[in-house]
A and B are shown apart, each in its own frame.
Chain A
Amino acid sequence: MSAVIEEHHDHHDHKPTGIGRWLFSTNHKDIGTMYLWFSFIMFFVGGSMALVIRAELFQPGLQLVEPEFFNQMTTLHGLIMVFGVIMPAFVGLANWMVPMMIGAPDMALPRMNNWSFWLLPGAFGLLIASLIMSLMGMGSAPNFGWTFYAPLSTKYGPASTDFFIFSVHMMGISSIMGAINIIATIMNMRAPGMTYMKMPIFVWTWFITAYLLIAVMPVLAGAVTMMLTDRNFGTSFFDAAGGGDPVMFQHIFWFFGHPEVYIMILPSFGIISEIVPTFARKKIFGYSSMVYATASIAFLSFIVWAHHMFTTGMPVAGELFFMYATMLIAIPTGVKVFNWVSTMWKGSMTFETPMLFAIAFIFLFTIGGFTGLMLCIAPADFQYHDTYFVVAHFHYVLVTGAAFGIMAGVYYWIPKWTGNMYDETLGKWHFWLTTISANVLFFPMHFVGLAGMPRRIPDYSIQFAEFNAMATVGAFVFGFTQLIFLYNVIKTARGRTGVKATDQVWEGSHGLEWTLPSPAPFHSFTTPPQVK
């Protein structure tokens, strides 16, 4: 023990105080907390934008906002939810949990960790500054959709597009540094005996996600760099007049974009794979097949990107290739769903809030997976492309998938973080209201989408009115329900629930993180634990 203290300059469990604790933090738990709070704040910012969109769509016709502003809302809502909510929340969870799960004292590269977090407020500050300027009447915020297709974002993009480009560069650097840190931690900081095939599934999914990030975030950075030079330095990467090709933008973007959707779901797969065994009181069914399934999903994600581009005039051979390759992804994903269900099979299940979210995840994510299969069928996609059916699909996989996984993870681990049990009654209220309202919100979008309602348009034909009104009601219930979550988290963090958590927290939990005291000490494993 004493040898270890000599290595550290700061003393044991002596936390730095004041604002400096957070600004200069190199502690994986503090940085994890900052990531999670950042994500939570952005969740409400991006969510408010969603409510503006849904309020406008409550009735056909133009009521509340100008179409131009509506476009800015859809764009920023998408960008914030993808890059400002889901990804930082996952990095926050990785920061908190990965070192504890593998028996490490901290992340491998603590200073880089600090930097990768503190780039994010800068990046989103820039992005939101463009919206503030737009609200003050100075130009427009980015308004070309979160996919920023050229030439809409190059030739026709507003002046604030350059803010957007720089913001994406910063987010990219932040994600890459975060990913390098996680890989270095997993490769170098595992406790003795913690072999790769003994790592918790959450660690495995993050390990693979980090590789995906390292492979595709630079491609995104390249795409926005080409936009930057097209806009400002006279190049013509995406400008047909200068010999470029706007369709090439879509190829580059989706080469990043499809692996990106797995970046946003694999860590949730990991969380669910931790929670289900705990509350079914059984070991996970098919551990190694889980690992291999995750790896195959990651591999396949690189060869399916053009399924987003079936309507760009691809030849039939290309359509068939991307269609079949996309269908293949259903196999490893199916293996995972099968394993989760088999883990529950004949288990002694209890239904605390994390488990409820996990079960809802399995059910609702699978619906999103099935609509994904429908969309990947090229001839059918000609009908579904750019309709609300696509919106329904990706909100099922991202809200009731990725976000439900994050919420499940927060409920599951918050007793370990704070030392206090959360309020179970409020948790159940949060779960039921969220799950019901999410379905009221997103399910009708399938119907209007199949009937041909286009996405990203502030007005629609009157035959879509009822389903849209329904979705808007669902959206507002969903949005305000999240305040219960916020309240519950604050109440737990302040210890106002009156129930202390034990070290093991859950009766059925296994793993190194549950051997630490609750709340987890400032430095996790100062002497490495021995893993049998």
Chain B
Amino acid sequence: MTSQPKQQTNSNAKVIGRLMLVVVGMFGFGFVMVPIYDIFCEVTGLNGKTSGKRLTEVLEVDTNREVVVEFVATLNEEMPWEFRPAVDKVTVNPGQPTRITYVAKNVTNKDIIGQAVPSVAPGKAATYFQKTECFCFTEQKLEAGEEKEMPVIFVVDPDLPDDVTQLALSYTFFIKPTEASKTASLAHN
């Protein structure tokens, strides 16, 4: 009986130690969910995220099938450019590389660097939408008042599920935060 309290203190310390490990681990797990979520979306193409990789191989063209691809341009709220697709939509055969352009114009009087983020709807078609060339692969810099044509060359994979007849490719242009704008937005908060 007399030795029991000491034993208990020891095993209490052990229990606390183990449980604290779980606590710390689960706190970390919340943060690990961030990269896992990105990898998961990229592997599965969920969330409309297309792969950021450039397609290098040549696909066979399926001339018996036509898919309509529509183009959408969006600006993030802090981005002061003008941005639109040159054509609203095109009809393509799966496997056929197609070149289209977007037009962006910096209407301010200072140079701005932007980054476009693509998204494809419906989400399940995202992994079948491949790009061989895209202005979204790198940052784009527009000088004050400059207008630029921004090309995209894409291929719709012939394995695209049969029920998908229409795709929408959407780009959102984000302003690349400079050090100055970061402090400004902090002060604003």
Contacts and interface: CB of A to CB of B under 8 A. Distances in A.
B189 A215 contact: no
Main secondary structure of the interface of A (DSSP, over half): helix
17 contacts: A7-B5, A179-B19, A180-B16, A188-B12, A214-B22, A218-B26, A218-B30, A222-B27, A226-B31, A232-B189, A241-B77, A241-B174, A241-B175, A242-B174, A245-B38, A251-B37, A313-B47
B15 A188 contact: yes
Interface of A: 3, 7, 108-109, 176, 179-180, 183-184, 187-189, 214-219, 221-223, 226, 231-232, 234, 237, 240-243, 245, 247-248, 251-252, 255, 313-316, 318
B182 A245 contact: no
A166 B160 CA distance: 48
B123 A315 contact: yes
Contacts of B78: 241
A241 B2 CA distance: 64
B186 interface: yes
Interface in B136-189: 172, 174-175, 177, 182, 185-186, 189
Given A180-B15, A223-B30, A315 B46 contact: yes
B58 interface: no
- Contact-residue size bin, chain B (C-beta under 8 Å from the other chain): 35 or more
A231 B167 CA distance: 35
A226 B34 CA distance: 10
A454 to B, nearest CB: 25
A247 B47 contact: yes
A222 B47 contact: no
Main secondary structure of the interface of B (DSSP, over half): helix
Contacts of A108: 8, 12, 15
Of B29, B38, B78, which is in contact with the most chain A CB atoms at under 10 Å from its CB?
Answer: B29
Contacts of A318: 46
Contacts of B182: 234
Contacts of A184: 12, 15-16, 19
A315 B46 CA distance: 7
Contacts of B5: 7
A241 B177 CA distance: 9
A219 B27 contact: yes
B72 to A, nearest CB: 15
Contacts of B174: 240-242
B91 interface: no
Contacts of A3: 1-2
B16 A240 contact: no
Of A3, A232, A252, A318, which is in contact with the most chain B CB atoms at under 10 Å from its CB?
Answer: A252
B47 A245 contact: yes
Of B8, B26, B29, which is in contact with the most chain A CB atoms at under 10 Å from its CB?
Answer: B26
Interface of B: 1-2, 5, 8, 11-12, 15-16, 19-20, 22-31, 33-34, 37-38, 44, 46-48, 76-78, 117, 123-124, 172, 174-175, 177, 182, 185-186, 189
A240 B33 CA distance: 16
Given A247-B47, A315-B44, 20 more contacts: A108-B8, A180-B15, A184-B15, A184-B16, A214-B22, A218-B24, A218-B30, A221-B27, A222-B27, A222-B31, A234-B186, A237-B34, A240-B117, A240-B174, A241-B77, A245-B37, A315-B46, A315-B123, A315-B124, A316-B124
B104 to A, nearest CB: 17
Given A187-B11, A187-B15, A222 B30 contact: yes
Given A108-B8, A231-B189, A245-B47, A240 B172 contact: yes
A216 B27 CA distance: 8
B22 A215 contact: yes
Given A214-B23, A218-B30, A109 B16 contact: yes
Contacts of B29: 218-219, 222
B45 to A, nearest CB: 9
Given A183-B15, A187-B15, A315-B46, A252 B8 contact: no
Nearest to B31: A222
Given A3-B1, A184-B16, A241 B30 contact: no
Contacts of B31: 222, 226
A318 to B, nearest CB: 7
A109 B12 contact: yes
A219 B30 contact: yes
A467 to B, nearest CB: 37
Contacts of B77: 241
A302 to B, nearest CB: 11
A232 B124 CA distance: 36
A244 to B, nearest CB: 8
Nearest to A231: B189
Closest 10 CB pairs of A and B: A222-B30, A218-B27, A218-B26, A219-B30, A184-B15, A180-B19, A241-B76, A218-B23, A241-B174, A248-B37
Nearest to A159: B189
A215 B15 contact: no
B26 A252 contact: no
B115 to A, nearest CB: 9
A247 B46 CA distance: 12
Contact of B177 (A216, A221, A242): A242
A116 to B, nearest CB: 13
Contacts of A231: 189
A215 B8 CA distance: 24
A255 B19 contact: no
Contacts of B2: 3
Contacts of B123: 313, 315
A386 to B, nearest CB: 21
